[in-house]
């Protein structure tokens, strides 16, 4: 009978350790998930801020163009267009 009691105590102790380990791992996993969500949100906000800044810059240039009565401004960069795009630069040498 005493052996059975000791055996049950041992099992309870092992189960308790396993439960604590599982809890710790779940907390670490949750921390990683929260961190990833925060990083993604930060990147979104940064991209949004950059777009707003670009829009404001373009609006300012348009206002200057109207004030000075100058030629139209083209805001496209050379990277925006695929004109003249040559796939030859990607071929192996």
User: Is 6 within the bounds of a domain?
Assistant: no
d(CA 72, CA 62): 8
User: Is 42 within the bounds of a domain?
Assistant: yes
Alpha carbons within 13 angstroms on the beta-carbon side of residue 34 total 6
d(CA 3, CA 1): 5
What pLDDT score does 36 carry?
96
pLDDT band at 74 (very low <50, low <70, confident <90, very high): confident
Assigned token pair, 64? 């200057």
| pLDDT over threshold 90, residue 88 | no
What pLDDT score does 75 carry?
73
pLDDT tens profile 19-67: 999 999 999 999 999 999 999 999 999 999 999 999 999 999 899 988 9
What pLDDT score does 82 carry?
57
User: Is 46 within the bounds of a domain?
Assistant: yes
Domain extent for 36: 31-65
Alpha carbons within 13 angstroms on the beta-carbon side of residue 28 total 6
Domain count, the chain: 1
User: Is 86 within the bounds of a domain?
Assistant: no
């Amino acid at each position: 009978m005493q052996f059975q009691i000791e055996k049950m105590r041992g099992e309870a102790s092992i189960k308790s350790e396993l439960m604590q380990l599982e809890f710790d791992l779940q907390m670490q996993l949750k921390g990683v998930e929260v961190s990833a969500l925060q990083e993604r949100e930060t990147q979104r906000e940064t991209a949004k801020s950059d777009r707003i800044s670009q829009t404001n810059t373009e609006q300012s240039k348009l206002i200057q163009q109207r004030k000075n009565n100058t030629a139209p401004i083209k805001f496209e960069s050379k990277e925006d267009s695929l004109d003249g795009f040559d796939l030859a630069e990607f071929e192996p040498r």
